[in-house]
Chains A and B, each alone.
Chain A
């Protein structure tokens, strides 16, 4: 099956700093999403991005499907960005594989 890796596993930032999170996957996919799990445990959809680039405020994401990776950029980080960021990839049968996550801590 598809393998998904995320890096780094942990990241500590000062408020205002920028960061890049990476998701690598081992096979062709037709679906890639980024989720933020906040400290209360809710899973928030950030981006549905099987290919290309999208931006939403301070966050943006790029997926290069041919090279099997996706990047999530967080600019001017805020304490509310803290939590775990998951990448999930889906095959053509809508079976999803989740990466292990990147745990982000933004310090005031």
Chain B
């Protein structure tokens, strides 16, 4: 049982480039989330999804887009990368019945 899997684990981007962070879960959870964590800080919600085809903005959605075509996958796209997007990104999913939250291992992104 892999849980929540994120790729890549590390990435360096140049200003203006775009990329997609991949996230997949094998627990059949309806709810999925993307958070970012800046150095020494807590987690901020970027986007979340309550099921396939349904997404909604969190606290800090600007500069990001998501899609949810299947229950398992919830990719996060960064368009026109900026230095302010340098952060560690965590994908998570929650148990549909209990709400228990599970995190992936994180993706460290640096924009230069």
Is A104 part of the binding interface, using a Cβ–Cβ cutoff of 8 Å?
no
Given known A-B contacts A99-B42, A101-B42, A94 and B103 have beta carbons under 8 A apart: no
A–B complex contacts, Cβ < 8 Å, 13 sampled: A33-B100, A35-B103, A42-B103, A42-B106, A43-B106, A45-B103, A88-B101, A90-B94, A90-B99, A94-B31, A94-B94, A94-B99, A99-B42
Chain A, residues 54-78, CB within 8 Å of chain B (1/0): the string is 0000000000000000000000000
- Inter-chain contact A45/B43, CB cutoff 8 Å: no
- Inter-chain contact B105/A42, CB cutoff 8 Å: yes
The A interface is mostly helix, strand or loop, or mixed, namely: strand
A residues lining the B interface (CB < 8 Å)? 30-31, 33, 35, 41-43, 45, 48, 86, 88, 90, 94-96, 98-101
- Inter-chain contact B99/A100, CB cutoff 8 Å: no
- Inter-chain contact B98/A41, CB cutoff 8 Å: no
- Inter-chain contact A45/B102, CB cutoff 8 Å: yes
User: For the complex, what is the distance from the CA of A56 to the CA of B88, rounded to whole Å?
Assistant: 29
